[in-house]
Structure 1
Amino acid sequence: MSPSRSTAEQLQAMHQQGFVLLRQVLQPPQVEPVRTAIDRLEPIHWDYQGLVDDHYKCVFNRDPFWLPLLDLPGVIELAEACLGTDCHVIGQTAWRSHPGFVGGELHADYLAMELPERCLHDPAFELPMQVCTAHIYLDQIDADLCPTLVIPGSHRSGRKPRTGEIHWQGREAQPVLCEAGDVLVFRSDLWHAGSRNRTPDRSRYLLQVHYGRRMVAQKFSPYLQWRFNPDVIAAATPRQRRLLGEHEPSEYD
């Protein structure tokens, strides 16, 4: 099935700019229950609750509540257009970033391989994506509330940013300002960064969903001790079960 016109345009932006901001994926009444569910989470394994941020991995396995957030309308169609209709989820992470949160340096999450930048100059060349992330924002994100920073087109650098590097081809990182319920989808080789929470009394709530191609390993900690929650599997739709790893047989199964 070919993508819809809007999805095709979004896919083109993923190739050209490296990211797309999808507006009003969640409506206001849908946002608060997700924030409340994040407040109920307790740390497991590598999760933590810190002084300025809280971090919870693989939250889809906690409760069936999280399943619909794996394949939100508009987001899943773009993920499948980017990574194939047999893509799957490699993580779902919930964050709370409190006043004083520092953020992170400019980075790229994953490159399948480094390439000379000159090889990527031709705008007709489309570098295949291997991993994409969806940031589901649960607050209005202004300049003071930890906006995600991105450098448009930086996935065409063919490498990760070096220590201390703050621009690419003269472009500096720009903040993604958006509303609660908006979703930023970006490819894993895009240069991006977290930023500070400069507010005196607001915490940023964020849910991340990471999608990978079929042959990208699923990152479900605690790994050898991993067990799927039977209540989650029983409630999952066929598409959600595929996203969780129920694939058709392939060469390496």
Structure 2
Amino acid sequence: MNAPLPAPAARRLPAIAQHDPASIATAIADDGCAFIPGVLSPEQATETCRQIDGLVHLDGDGRNHDGKSIDHYKCVFNRDPFWLRFLDQPGIIDAVERLLGSNCHIIGMSAWRSPPGVRRQGIHADQIFLPISEDLLLSGQVVLPVFIMTLHFYLCDIDESLCPTWVIPGSHKAGRGPRPADPGQRAERQRQLTIANSQGGEEETWRGQTAFPVTCSAGDCMLFRSEIWHHGSANTSDRTRYLLQVHYAQRVVAQRFPPYIDFRHNPVVMAAANERQQRMMGKHTIGAYG
């Protein structure tokens, strides 16, 4: 008889050193995610929160219209050279390039501010590229390449009341997204998600693994691939959560920078960027297809 699963609060992702790209890549392959503590100092995390407070909404951003909604600032890399440092964090960027290729780039960078009262998201996978039998994935007969990954910079001390990310390690090997609890909802739910090819539902257990919260300290990070099942959660505290996301992708995946379709790179930012950062923002050498 299997032992009961521990309570969510008792479960934690193993910590992986920032300057150990091989172990980060292994965790992405095995668990679909890697927890990397202490990437930013407390002072750096606080300064990043201050910078988010200074952002203004542009076209395409999400606004806190009722005092209980998320402020979502897109393409923050293009607003000031301050944000360049988050593109190529030492060690982490080496793991990213190991998995996505040396010509990978970002497809987005978003800052989030979640005040008290923000509601939880539904559990979902950000992007399913190749729906496939989980038996093939679990057996190792088929190994899916990584197409997109997201790096979360947690800028506050995150407990269960302050919007932690919930995750099911290993669920990227399901070969699909979580299903709705009611099969009758499935067609409508999938119709709503068709454009993004995101897949979501209410199925919060996969092969005996239940979702659990990633509680952490300000400055900690989590890197995860697009197929893993996860969700954001409610803010039941009296504090505001700050989060920075960097989305990395293979070169063949289009960059997604609003406003569409006339996005322009900020020349001040490009001039301040190093060669790797410029490539991350889209300055590629000529190759196949352009």
The answer to whether structure 1 residue 78 and structure 2 residue 92 are counterparts is no
Q: Which of structure 1's runs of 4+ aligned residues deviate more than 2 A?
A: 123-126
Task: Return the TM-score normalized by structure 2.
Answer: 0.83
- Say if 2:241 is the partner of 1:224: no
What 5-or-longer segments of structure 1 have no aligned partner?
none
Distance in structure 1 (CA, Å) of the matches to 2:134 and 2:60: 36
1:181 aligns with 2:198: no
Aligned position for 2:158: 141
Q: Which residue of 2 aligns with 1:99?
A: 116
Residue 131 of structure 2 is aligned to residue 114 of structure 1: yes
Alignment match, 2:53: 39
Residue 103 of structure 1, CA deviation: 2.3
Tell me the distance in 1 between the aligned counterparts of 2:120 and 2:100: 28
Instruction: Decide which of 229, 234, 243 is 2:271's aligned counterpart.
Output: 234
- Give the letter for the 2:85 counterpart: P
Q: Distance in 2 between matches of 1:56 and 1:22?
A: 24
Letter in 1 for 2:270: I
Cα distance per residue 1:208-243 (max 9 Å; x no partner):
000000101000011212111110111110000000
Answering whether residue 79 of structure 2 is matched by residue 62 of structure 1, we say yes
In structure 2, C-alpha distance between the alignment counterparts of 1:75 and 1:198, rounded to whole Å? 31
State the match for 2:208 in structure 1.
Answer: 170
Aligned to 1:26: 40
Quote the offset at 1:124 in angstroms. Answer: 6.9
Q: State, as a whole percentage, how many aligned pairs show the same letter.
A: 47
What is the match of residue 280 of structure 2? Answer: 243
Work out the CA distance in 2 between the residues paired with 1:68 and 1:7.
18
Larger radius of gyration: 2
User: Are the aligned partners of 1:17 and 1:152 in contact in 2 as well (CA < 8 Å)?
Assistant: yes
- The match for 2:23 is 9
Is 103-112 or 202-211 further displaced after alignment? Answer: 103-112
Q: Return the alpha-carbon distance in structure 2 between the equivalents of residues 147 and 57 of structure 1.
A: 20
Please state whether the residue corresponding to 1:48 is helix, strand or coil.
Answer: coil
Q: 1:123 to 1:224 in 2, by over 3 A?
A: same
Q: Is residue 155 from structure 1 mapped to residue 155 from structure 2 by the alignment?
A: no
Aligned equivalents of 2:91, 2:249: Cα separation in 1: 17
Q: 1:72-113: CA deviations, max 9, x gaps?
A: 122211211221111100000000111111120110001212
- What corresponds to 2:252 in structure 1? 215
Matched-pair contact (CA < 8 Å) for 2:21–2:92: no
**Counterpart of 2:256 in structure 1: which amino acid?**
K
Task: Please give the residue correspondences for 1:182-197 in structure 2 after superposition, counting only pairs within 5 Å.
Answer: 182-197=220-235
Instruction: Report the Cα distance in structure 2 between the residues aligned to 1:244 and 1:123, rounded to whole angstroms.
Output: 34
TM-score normalised by L of structure 1: 0.95
Question: Aligned pair count?
Answer: 249
Q: Contact 2:19/2:90 (CA < 8 Å) preserved in 1?
A: no
Q: For the Cα contact (< 8 Å) 2:20–2:91, is it kept in 1? A: no
Equivalent of 2:146, from 129, 144, 154?
A: 129
1:206 equivalent to 2:243? Answer yes
| Counterpart in the other structure of 1:252 | 289
The answer to which of 43-52 and 201-210 deviates more is 43-52
Which consecutive residues of structure 2, in runs of 5 or more, have no partner in the other structure? 1-17, 181-201
Give distance in 2, aligned partners of 1:137 and 1:181: 6
CA distance, structure 2, for counterparts of residue 12 and residue 48 of structure 1: 35
Counterpart residue type for residue 212 of structure 2: Q
Q: Distance in 2 between matches of 1:64 and 1:28?
A: 20
Task: Tell me how far 1:169 sits from its aligned partner.
Answer: 1.0
Residues 1:20 and 1:124: Cα distance change in structure 2 (over 3 Å): farther
Instruction: Give, as a single letter, the amino acid of the residue that structure 1 aligns with 2:51.
Output: A
